Amino acid sequence: QKEVEQNSGPLSVPEGAIASLNCTYSDRGSQSFFWYRQYSGKSPELIMSIYSNGDKEDGRFTAQLNKASQYVSLLIRDSQPSDSATYLCAVTQLNNDMRFGAGTRLTVKP
Amino acid sequence: GAVVSQHPSRVICKSGTSVKIECRSLDFQATTMFWYRQFPKKSLMLMATSNEGSKATYEQGVEKDKFLINHASLTLSTLTVTSAHPEDSSFYICSARDGFSSYEQYFGPGTRLTVT
């Protein structure tokens, strides 16, 4: 089992819709959770971090964490074509090592 | 957010030569720096983790004599690809973390290495 799993996609949504990105992790002791956005040919950019169960909202982005289910998600409201990118889920384990999922490719169609 | 720079952004070198890539944290102290490589349309692959003043910890399968990492200060880490071969051509990305204050990692813009 991979440490951090994401559906590779591609996930395609129409402009203005909600994009829902999901991630599961295997280490039950994980403490910190992150979402990064990576445009093609560029390096990852941190867009959200979440540390406790529940929802965390930042603009059009909402991260959701459920430690009991070992599940973290990212919702993007009012999706824009500029949101088209690969979204990486990252999880920090007790030993502080950060593990990345393989990423979900999102396409927002105008 | 925190800023991490990387230099050069793009380099082409001949097979058998060595290339040094610099990674700098510009507005925070990077207690830990990470080096990744990424092939086209593939996920990030962690190569090594370095703590300031200590030897780097390499991931399994990464040759430490080929990929020399130095983290001599809290703002600078370097990766030297020695005796480069065409199969070393890749996108190399560093990231840095201020371990004093958070678990967040901030990425540099990456270095695209092409070995001819």
| Contact partners, residue A59, CB within 8 Å, separation at least 6 | none
| Closest CA–CA distance from residue B110 to any residue of chain A (Å) | 6
pLDDT digits (tens, 9 = 90+) for A53-107: 999 999 999 999 999 999 999 999 999 999 999 999 999 976 677 889 999 999 9
pLDDT of residue A79: 98
Phi, psi of B111 (to 5 degrees): -130, 125
* pLDDT one-digit tens code per residue, A24-45: 999 998 989 999 999 999 999 9
Calpha distance B40→A66 (Å, rounded): 32
What are the E-state strand segments in chain A? 4-6, 11-14, 19-25, 32-38, 45-50, 54-58, 61-66, 71-76, 85-92, 98-100, 104-109
| pLDDT value of residue B51 | 87
State pLDDT tens for residues B5-53: 999 999 999 999 999 999 999 988 888 999 999 998 888 899 999 988 8
Residues B80-89 have a mean pLDDT of: 96
**DSSP designation for A18:** P
pLDDT at A23 over 80: yes
Q: Name every chain A residue with its beta carbon within 8 A of the beta carbon of B102.
A: 49
pLDDT at A95: 64
Whether residue A49 and residue B104 make contact (CB cut-off 8 A), yes or no, is: yes
Residues of B in CB contact (< 8 Å) with A are 1, 32, 34, 43-44, 46, 49, 91, 93, 95, 99, 102-110
Give me the pLDDT at residue B1, please: 66
* B109 confidence band (pLDDT: 50, 70, 90): very high
Please tell me the distance from the alpha carbon of residue B116 to that of residue B114, in angstroms, as a whole number: 6
- A17 alpha-carbon distance from chain centroid: 17
Task: Please state, for a pLDDT cut of 90, what percent of chain B lies above it.
Answer: 74
The pLDDT, as a whole number, for residue B99 is 75
DSSP summary character for residue A3 = S
Question: The tokens of A78 are what?
Answer: 């009012």
Mean pLDDT on B67-82? 93
Which of B43, B91, B105 lies nearest to residue A98, judging by beta carbons? B105
Looking at residue A93, its pLDDT comes to: 77
| Residue whose token pair is 């990231």 | B95
